[in-house]
Amino acid sequence: MATIIGSVTSSHVPAIGRAIEKGLQQDPYWKPFFDGFPPVRQWLSRARPDIAVVFYNDHGLNFFLDKMPTFAVGAAAEYRNADEGWGIPQVPPITGDPALSWHLINRLVAEEFDLTTCQEMLVDHALTIPMALLWPDQAWPVRVVPVCINTVQFPLPSAARCYKLGEAVGRAIRDWDSDARVLILGTGGLSHQLDGERAGFINRDFDLQFMESLVHDPKWATQFSIHELVEKTGTQGVELVMWLAARAALGDRVRQVHANYHIPISNTASGLQALEPV
């Protein structure tokens, strides 16, 4: 049966792509952010995942307001990104794992999740930036299965629903007849708001409590409605549901391998957390 080796959750600000392109990792603005990653990379090189299942939100590259699935699972042999208008470099194509994609799709539909299945899928900065942070040479050592959750156009799925999706993904992976070692990624958040009167809003206290809750009380944030999460974390802060889905996939008990929190990167409170099941 397949093994879940752990999770990495992180923010996904496009400006990080520009900083990587310009080699600004030691720049005073960027250093506290980039310094979070080497311990996670060392852990990954020991944990040797073969596949990454990535919970992320598309921002208008693959899905636009005219067609917006609540949950979409990639089932492509390869994923590419494209210019989204942020002016960041494209990354090399990422190999998919259609066998795991279809296993997840079959199991999730059997568990009454209504999915969109994507045999062609462009992936945006939410998927590519964390990948480039975890594997800076961009010679991707993992195949990828993208799981996209709508955080762009209301109504959004609740935090509790995203947690249940993550639990179902975890069960399906653990039941998969394969020797694969699977890493769960979740990308988005933490608190940020890019638009409106509260643009620039950040909530450090909430973010830190949220990160702590994922270790000891993982369902804590599922008590909040989406509107409460918008109030507490900003309109784009709701992307933190990806962290909930990733955490839920790990099962009951986890150990924190590493965490980092730094304010701000662009308009965003940037968080990073690696967890492993115990």
Interface residues with ligand DHB (CB under 6 A) are: 12-15, 59, 192, 194, 236, 239, 266-268
User: How many other β-carbons are positioned within 10 Å of the β-carbon of residue 160?
Assistant: 16
Least distance between ligand DHB and beta carbon 239 (Å): 6
* Burial 35-53, CB ≥16 within 10 A → b, else e: ebbeebeebbeeeebbbbb
Residue of closest CB approach to ligand DHB: 266
Region at 149 (left for phi over 0; alpha for psi -120 to 50; beta for the rest)? beta
77 or 154: CB nearest ligand DHB: 154
Coil, helix or strand at residue 70: coil
113 or 261: CB nearest ligand DHB: 261
Least distance between ligand DHB and beta carbon 10 (Å): 11
50 or 239: CB nearest ligand DHB: 239
Catalytic site positions: 125, 192
Least distance between ligand DHB and beta carbon 11 (Å): 7
Give the span between the Cα atoms of 56 and 36, in whole angstroms.
20
Least distance between ligand DHB and beta carbon 130 (Å): 11
Tokens representing 263? 């304010």
51 or 132: CB nearest ligand DHB: 132
- Residue 108 belongs to what H/E stretch? helix 98-110
Give the span between the Cα atoms of 46 and 39, in whole angstroms.
11
